[in-house]
Amino acid sequence: MNTSQQRNLIQKAGFGMLSVVALLTVLPIVLVVGYIFYQGLPAISFEFLTGLPREGMRAGGILPAIVGTIYLTIGTAIFSVPLGVAAAIYLSEYAQDNLLTRLIRLAIINLAGIPSVVYGLFGLGLFVLFLNFGTSLLAGSLTLSIMTLPVIISTAEEALRAVPQSFRVVSISLGATRWQTIRRIVLPESLPGIITGVILGLERAAGETAPILFTVAAFFLPRLPDSPFDASMALPYHLFVISTQVPGMPLKLQYGTALVLLCFVLGMNLLATTIRSRARAKRQW
């Protein structure tokens, strides 16, 4: 065997190994999703998705949990998106590189590393007790917002920074102000990236249990919340409850609930991916 054949062989072996590793990382995801679909699909019915829980949650539907999670996601978006995007615009477009902005960035990075149960405890202390919002959608949305903010700020800032500097220089040279440049050029260009970051942040919020544990979640509340000050059921917490706290729970209801949560989160993910790939296809510079 000559050296070039040898090299070829090594290359082939290397590629082979890499594809095996790549497959191995995909495998658990496929298994989890597949297993939950397999176990949960039989539970899905019109009543399951649109009905109230009955017989101590052992029968009926999970509508209050679905609606609760949707409300929480919307509430989180209302607080975290404007604040997060505004902060990102400040950091990327206006802030100079000085001690203050370095401290802000450090704070954001550290905020992202705090365990979610700590956010839950903080939300309990600040929103539920001190501000007296009670166990409510409002308190839960605010808690989830604080948890989501670092994700939104960092991804939005990254998206803003990805806009070529030359666009800003040209816009300014044409007599635009800084704000006009941001509004007419920088924001539209970075919007797909910002939206992707927002969705990924909200997706994480929608799936979290710990932050809502002390701030919103009702163990069993067979009606829909009708004000921001109401407590509510929510999918992740409901899943926790029916998996560990209720004896004699039919297994398929647990997997059915998990499936609904999974679809909710995967749906958001799909939306983010679609927006990103559409924007990439449209971009021409």
Q: Given candidates 129, 169, 266, 270, which one binds another protein under the rule CB under 8 A? A: 169
* Residue 213 burial class via C-beta count within 10 angstroms: exposed 0-12, middle 13-18, buried 19 and up: buried
Q: What angle do CA 9, 1, 19 make, to 5 degrees?
A: 5
Tell me if 167 contacts another protein by CB under 8 A: yes
- Cβ 156 to another protein, closest distance in Å? 18
The distance from CA 123 to its chain's CA centroid, rounded to whole angstroms, is: 18
Site for another protein in 127-166 (CB under 8 A): 164, 166
- Cβ 80 to another protein, closest distance in Å? 27
- Cβ 195 to another protein, closest distance in Å? 17
- Cβ 102 to another protein, closest distance in Å? 19
Return the SS3 of 59: strand
- Cβ 47 to another protein, closest distance in Å? 50
Alpha carbons 81 and 77: distance in angstroms, whole number? 5
Q: Helix/strand/coil (H, E, C) string of 184-211?
A: HHHHHHHHHHHHHHHHHHHHHHHHCCHH
Tell me if 278 contacts another protein by CB under 8 A: no
31 or 172: whose CB is closer to another protein?
172
Per the CB < 8 A criterion, the answer to whether 89 and 182 are in contact is yes
Using CB under 8 A, count the residues that bind another protein: 20
Tell me if 176 contacts another protein by CB under 8 A: yes
70 or 176: whose CB is closer to another protein?
176
Among the listed residues 207, 272, 253, the one whose alpha carbon sits nearest the alpha carbon of residue 44: 253
- Cβ 158 to another protein, closest distance in Å? 18
Tell me if 98 contacts another protein by CB under 8 A: no
Site for another protein in 184-223 (CB under 8 A): 184-185, 188-189
The percent of the chain in helix, strand and coil, each rounded to the nearest 5, is 75, 0, 20
Tell me if 180 contacts another protein by CB under 8 A: yes
Question: How many CB atoms are located within 10 Å of the residue 249 CB?
Answer: 16
Which residues are near another protein by CB under 8 A?
164, 166-167, 169-177, 180, 184-185, 188-189, 283-285
